[in-house]
Amino acid sequence: MQINNLFELGWTHFFQAQRDFDLLTSQWPFRVVAVQRSLIECVGLDKQGQPQSLTLPTYFWRHEPPEAYPTVGDWLLVDAKLQPVHLLSRKSLIKRRSAGKTSVIQLIAANLDTLFIVTSCNAEFNLNRIERYLSLAAEAAIDCIFVLTKADLCPDVSPFTHALSANYPTLPVEIVNATDPSSLKRLEKWIDAGQTVALLGSSGVGKSTIVNGLKGSAQQTTAPARVSDNKGRHTTTSRSLHRLPGGGLLLDTPGMRELQIADSEGGIQSTFSEIDQLAAQCRFKNCQHHSEPDCAVAKAIKSGEIEPRRLENYRKLLTEQMRNNQSLAQRRRHDRALGRFYKHAQKSARQFKSKE
């Protein structure tokens, strides 16, 4: 990744404003471009203004809450010894509750300007899943573009485009054959220089193929060649940030089998805003829109104005995020208690030492 200035990495006034004026010549911003299990890869300019790639161990953040941990797209300030000293506040963040039983937040990507919601013109296409992505994006205030892949394998794409334009009339839809770079040209207008665009979608929809096509190289391993390697080569199991010839930044994410939503009540409400607005007209303030009298939502479903699927998905996502928030709150209380314990133990150890 050859860079000449920080703007090429997505640096803006928002980040500049966070720098301490006195430390301008002793701390330098680096952008996180990849996170492997125990290592954080970042790129920036050193004190001579020379491009530098750093690989930092993740142990700097060992006892921090997950949100304080750097993720792809983050900006770090690094000192003269090239050690990270500070994680800059994020412009936007997408996260999920990690898969499995443990209730922890997993960060997906930070400082995104636009999200490409990638989905295929085949059985993978699923409105419920799309609404999950839209809720995450709305919560983080990130603009979304739909990218419909595998159009070349589909005799008629209109059912897919109609489903998107009927449900989400304000969002742009681009139809591509991801394996044909000339077809990907139409995506370039959504990726301005210095802008960060992330690709989100199920495994196999063509995210890495899009990255390769737009980069004009084949660095991101795509599905048929996918092998788990231990050599630190990029595979789609890790997230990574790529610079495009046009100056934009593209962030590939791994296909996440389960994208459990948490901390996103506002995002869900804005994704289903028409239901929320109608609910204000129900007779009862706490109407659940099941069989209550004078329910405006039930009326809209009966008249075909709202799809029953959408109401069901709205309920499902709200319930899921409430349940996840409860278990996350429990976990956070536990982490805070553990943090206090460590601090106390360290203090006692120091006092003990100073007495020696």
Ligand X SMILES: Nc1nc2c(ncn2[C@@H]2O[C@H](COP(=O)(O)OP(=O)(O)O)[C@@H](O)[C@H]2O)c(=O)[nH]1
Q: Binding pattern to Mg ion, positions 199-238, x when CB under 5 A?
A: --------xx---------------------------x--
Residue in 118, 151, 112, 111 with CA at minimum distance from that of residue 133: 118
The interface partner of residue 152, options being Mg ion, Zn ion, ligand X, none and the CB cut-off 5 to 8 Å by kind, is ligand X
What are the residues facing 270 on neighbouring strands? none
CB neighbour list of residue 89: distance below 8 Å, 6 or more residues apart: 18
264 binds Mg ion (CB under 5 A): no
Binding part of the chain for Zn ion, among 4-12, 79-87, 176-184, 274-282 by CB under 5 A, reads 274-282
Tokens 């004190």 belong to which residue? 47
Q: With 0-12 CB in 10 A as exposed, 13-18 as middle and 19+ as buried, what is 140?
A: buried
| Residues binding Mg ion: number (CB under 5 A) | 3
Closest CA to 72 of 239, 234, 208, 210: 239
Nearest distance, CB of residue 178 and Mg ion, angstroms? 11
44 binds, among Mg ion, Zn ion, ligand X, none (CB under 5 to 8 A by kind): none
Provide the minimum distance between the beta carbon of 175 and ligand X in the complex, in angstroms, as a whole number.
Answer: 9
161 near ligand X (CB under 6 A): no
User: Is residue 253 within the footprint of Mg ion (CB under 5 A)?
Assistant: no
**Residue 124 binding ligand X, by CB under 6 A:** no
What CA dihedral angle connects 345, 347, 353 and 354, to 10 degrees? -160
Which residues, numbered 197-216, are part of the site for ligand X (CB under 6 A)? 201, 203-209
Residue 52's contacts (CB-CB under 8 Å, 6 or more residues apart) are 30, 43, 44, 45, 46, 82
Is residue 119 involved in binding ligand X (CB under 6 A)? Answer: no
CA 61 vs CA 71, 115, 150, 253: distances in Å:
12, 27, 41, 22
- Stretch of 1-9, 88-96, 218-226, 275-283 lying at the interface with ligand X (CB under 6 A): 218-226
Residue 150 interacts, among Mg ion, ligand X, Zn ion, none and using kind-specific CB cut-offs from 5 to 8 Å, with ligand X
What is the rounded CA–CA span in Å between residue 191 and residue 183? 15
Binding residues vs ligand X (CB under 6 A): 149-150, 152-153, 176-179, 201, 203-209, 222-224, 236, 255
Binding residues vs Zn ion (CB under 5 A): 282, 287, 289, 295, 297
